[in-house]
Amino acid sequence: MTIGIIGLGLIGGSIAMDLRISDFAKHIIGNDYNSKNIRYALQRALIDEVMDIKNMIEHVDLIILAVPVNVIKKMLPDLLHLIYDKTVILDTGSTKHEICQSVVKHPKRNQFVATHPIAGTEYSGPQAALTGLFNKKTVVLCNTEESAPEALKTVKKLYRQLNAEFIELPSDVHDKHAAYLSHLSHIIAFSLAKVALGFQKKSTENVFYMAGSGFSSTARLAKSSPETWLPIFQSNKAYLLEAIEGYLQKFMKIQKTLQEDDLEALCQYMAEANDIKKYINPNLA
């Protein structure tokens, strides 16, 4: 199968690496608006060759759209118009509802499969690409009833090469869950980084000697690229603001127990939060 990848960043690049190792992709054609990314992707042999999108369309069986979510939304309807009837497009965006809505009445909607592989790091660009990034990770497939069964089959086959697992969800439900379980964590990390950097500015010493593994873990996502995350926040604004509000209520509750020396309530709060042990995988943190 010949595969086109538009967007040679962390996600596009990591998919390329694993598709090369498996036999799924006989030939990979890349495209990126950033010429540095293209040079790097060629240097690392993530792709076989570069083409502009019009040319790419002539040669590929499947297109992976791994660009920021606002760019996916903008490109997808035109791309669908341009591709052959047997070509499949999948996207890898972290929000799904706006993207699905942008093509809901498109005559070639069924050639598109909306996916969100829950994998990544705080780094970006083809230099951050990793093999095995999707190993045992979850891929959410959204609104699959709107995709042709054959297209869906191809996309599942692709993700199986990466050793990923699937769940299927309506795009709106996906976005709500993503707000609480992924996007909020980024808002929190950005805010923690800002207050620590502000504190550093006012200090005469380097206060980061104190930044052990706890701070590094909690603030890690603050290294994430605004180019990727600004469009995600924007496109999931309503649910993200709901999650932010819910978080603020919890945060202010623990603040209040501390202000009022309500040690019993503070202890109970922490013990309840400890339940998170049941849900998060220690190997991921």
Contacts of a second copy in 251-280 (CB under 8 A): 251-255, 258-259, 261, 263, 266-267, 269-277, 279-280
d(CA 206, CA 282): 31
CA distance 66 to 92: 5
In the bound state with a second copy, the residue whose beta carbon lies nearer, of 153 and 223, is 223
- Between strands 88-91 and 112-117, the pairing is parallel
Q: How far is the CB of 105 from a second copy (least distance, A)?
A: 26
Nearer to a second copy, 23 or 275 (CB): 275
Looking at 60, 155, 222, 232, which residue binds a second copy (CB under 8 A)?
222
Task: Report the residue from 110, 125, 184, 235 that binds a second copy according to the rule CB under 8 A.
Answer: 184
* Shorter beta-carbon distance to a second copy: residue 52 or 245: 245
As a whole number of angstroms, the distance between CA 139 and CA 166 comes to 5
Round to whole Å and give the CA distance between 143 and 159.
17
In the complex with a second copy, the residue whose CB is nearer, 55 or 225, is 225
Q: Is 119 in the site for a second copy (CB under 8 A)?
A: yes
Question: For a second copy, which residue of 21, 45, 104, 241 counts as binding (CB under 8 A)?
Answer: 241
Edge-to-edge strands, sheet with 138-142: 49-50, 27-31, 2-6, 62-65, 88-91, 112-117, 138-142, 165-169
Q: Does 244 bind a second copy (CB under 8 A)?
A: yes
Say how far apart CA 253 and CA 237 lie, in whole Å: 24
HSE on the CB side for 59, CA within 13 Å? 19
Window of 1-9, 21-29, 100-108, 247-255 that interacts with a second copy by CB under 8 A? 247-255
